[in-house]
A and B are shown apart, each in its own frame.
Chain A
Amino acid sequence: MKNDSILSNLKSLAWRNFSVWVFLFLWFMIGWLEWNNKVFIPTLPEVIINTGKLLLTSEFWVHITTSLSVITIGFFLSVLVAVPIGIIMGSNLKVNSALQNFIELIRPISPLALYPLFIFSFGIGFMSKLAIVFWVSWIPLLFSIITGVQRINEDYLRMAKTLGASKRQMITEIVLPAIIPWAIMGMRLSVGSALLVIVAAEMIGSNRGIGFFILNASYTFKIVDLYSGIVVISIIGILINAFFLLWEKKTHNYNNKKI
């Protein structure tokens, strides 16, 4: 019985990643049949071996941790700002209408267009990158939180009120748990955007980080390193997404489970 379940899980995993296997297989075959332009497209085993070697060097980890620390701090700052503002805007129509247009005004501005301003304001180092990560992270999260708060079942609030919940308890016991699925969705968007933008920002002005590593590899014509950098970004993205999917699945347990 247990073996059947493991087999079925493996089958499901294989099917869900079917397109990935096809992509990797084609990449492998192109290299094996030597159909690739060896200057611009290294073979799959070359990239895997090179990535493995790079991951054993401390220098490469400096680039990875530099990018990840900016993303992590910027993301948490965006959570600290977006969650309270989102709760206030979602629960108060007046505040919402007063701030809505301003946020709509700044929302379409490309973060990379603002990056020079961040560099002028905070210098070329850590702070300007933190600013751009924060900028791309907080707006999608804010909108998710606002939607989440607006969609809270009014019966929950009424019930809590009749049970004597204080304003603080309304937030901690009803609002925050109720918006978790929305917050997870917003956080996934935020971190995804942060990962995109940090690579670009590190290419513009930096001497560390994955973006810098990739650009430097292209300048020095280390094409396999360039591919390894891209692979590492992809792996980081997959891991972050997997974390949020796992969290989302946990909340789905109470949202969707039936007898």
Chain B
Amino acid sequence: MIKIKNLSKTFVDANQSVMVFDNFNLEIAQNELVIIFGPSGCGKSTLINLMTGTESYGSGSIEGLHGIKKIGYVSQRNSLLPWLKVIDNIAFGLKLQGMNKESRHKEALKLLGEMDLIGYSNFYPNQLSGGLSQLISFARSVAFKAEFMLMDEPFSSLDFFVRNKLQDIILKIHKKRGLTTVFVTHQVDEALYLGDRVIALSASKPTRILLELDTKGVKDKKSEFFYKLQRELLSCYQ
């Protein structure tokens, strides 16, 4: 379990300082897919950066990350390495661990097979569409057997149809491999459909949790219950 306890973070520049988090608390259970939902600028990406360790916080603690050696990260932008083919991009984390080429390629091909993407193994990233690139980024973290996955609005630049398809692939892989995941989004449907739990963050600073929704098993986007959750989620911003 990952526990964010009394976390405080302030951004300071020459003219002003903004307190993004003040005594912020959040718990993420093992194998849970938690959605961090909120409008742009509310601190969703900052929260991810604090968890990856690429940004430091003022006070408080993030417990449970020390034991995790493998963190997967998929960003809004394409972070595939352009000089590597798809198969080598997927196997990149395994290469860093010192696995030999034959074994890591075998792992990567297995995963590409699971995602029905085997035909793309020898493509370079610039030959891929935006959606495929994000999927390969996700596959890279899965191949690496990440114990904790951070996804920062990975599908924000994709169209509705591609996004829907990728959401199903994420759910399929998550179900099969049981990854603890924090998924950041500002899309209501995406949040409710993908998440086991949705955490709605406030637009005002310091950021606080407005609402927590249990959305485990909510997979029918046309159901009355789905619409009810949509209304509930949106109403907390009115």
Contacts and interface: CB of A to CB of B under 8 A. Distances in A.
Contact of A251 (B83, B92, B141): B83
A158 interface: yes
Given A158-B79, A256-B126, A164 B96 contact: yes
Interface residues of A, number: 26
Interface of A: 153, 155-156, 158-166, 169, 173-174, 177-178, 180, 251, 253-259
User: Looking at chain A's contact residues, is the secondary structure mostly helix, strand, loop, or mixed?
Assistant: helix
Contacts of B52: 158, 161-162
B77 interface: yes
B127 A258 contact: yes
Interface size class of B (residues with CB under 8 A): 20 to 34
A107 to B, nearest CB: 30
Interface string B66-93: 0001111101011101111000000011
28 contacts: A153-B77, A155-B79, A156-B79, A158-B73, A158-B79, A159-B73, A159-B137, A161-B52, A161-B54, A162-B52, A162-B72, A162-B150, A163-B92, A163-B93, A163-B141, A164-B93, A165-B96, A173-B92, A173-B95, A177-B81, A178-B83, A253-B124, A254-B82, A254-B83, A255-B126, A256-B126, A257-B126, A259-B127
Contacts of A256: 126
Contacts of A259: 127
A177 B77 CA distance: 19
Nearest to A159: B79
Nearest to A177: B83
Nearest to B53: A161
A169 B96 CA distance: 7
A173 B126 contact: no
